[in-house]
Amino acid sequence: MTQKKKIVVALGGNAILSNDASAQAQQEALEMTSKHLVKLISPEVQLIISHGNGPQVGNLLLQQQASDSEKNPAMPLDTCVAMTQGSIGFWLQNALERELKNANLEKEVATIVTQVIVDKEDEAFKNPSKPIGPFLTHEQAQVLEKETGAVYKEDAGRGWRKVVPSPKPIAIQEQYSINTLINNDIITICAGGGGIPIERQSSRGVEAVIDKDFASEKLAEMIDADLFIILTGVDQIALNFGKENEKWLDKMTVSEAEQYMEEGHFAPGSMLPKVEAAVQYVKARPECKAVITSLEMLGNINKESVGTEIVY
């Protein structure tokens, strides 16, 4: 039996949530997402999907805080990550199953609640940096900072967002279960929202959100993925993005990417973690490549070079 090409696709949380935060709108967005994902599926490909949840977990936290009372206490952040991991996985799994049926493809899809191990001594706990929730004006953020004590920071020129600790992922708790699903030819949705962060020392949940690009990279390493695709809102990476001397990149080596990062070409909280994760993956698997591109380009990825390829 020929070994299948294992492809990890990391979906962004903002690709799931538009201006309409209703369940119906997010499900409709995932219907469109699934149409693109199914284009990757063939007898030679095994698909593994991760996804973000930044906007969703932020909105859920606001709902929890709004209804917080002695009899109905708000859930902690790690539990909110688990809740959004479950809801997005549920929507995506159902959408994929319908699209597979429409394409006359007989494939099973499974979502696994995924815990990701972090170190409580990670410096990230002293410096909250991961944006979650909706974009706000500076004035709105200042009011919420005074009311809740949370930290808000400006995010890539698009507004202010709440920030929480974002420790680096060390390992994935459900490694064996995920590999079992993959080895049985099941499309696997896992590491949603960066995974539920659990402390290495105690295996208990912690108040943090893991960056989904880093968790997806850890997943790609763990399963020996042959291709790591990170989806974003543009078809390619650009140097001097949005400026007159903007330059789109078809390919860059690890050393070039590291140089560009050092020069400050990629925005923190936006493109920077995607490039960092891609570089980390290629360093771990130098015979493979990572691709950063848009959802709309997925259908061409097995036919031609699309997006920006990161190679060793």
216: pLDDT strictly greater than 80: yes
As a whole number of angstroms, the distance between CA 99 and CA 299 comes to 14
Catalytic positions, please?
13-14, 130, 212, 274
Q: What is the pLDDT of residue 14?
A: 65
Percent of the chain with pLDDT over 90: 74
User: What mean pLDDT, rounded, does the chain reach?
Assistant: 92
Q: Please, is 213 exposed, middle or buried when counting C-beta atoms within 10 Å of its C-beta (0-12, 13-18, 19+)? A: buried
Determine contact, residues 241/250, Cβ cutoff 8 Å. Answer: no
Determine contact, residues 36/298, Cβ cutoff 8 Å. Answer: yes
74: pLDDT strictly greater than 80: yes
Nearest Cα residue to 10 out of 43, 35, 33, 29: 33
Nearest Cα residue to 111 out of 184, 188, 34: 188
35: pLDDT strictly greater than 60: yes
Q: What is the pLDDT of residue 299?
A: 87
Q: What is the pLDDT of residues 244-286, one digit of tens each?
A: 899 999 999 999 999 999 999 998 878 999 999 999 999 999 9
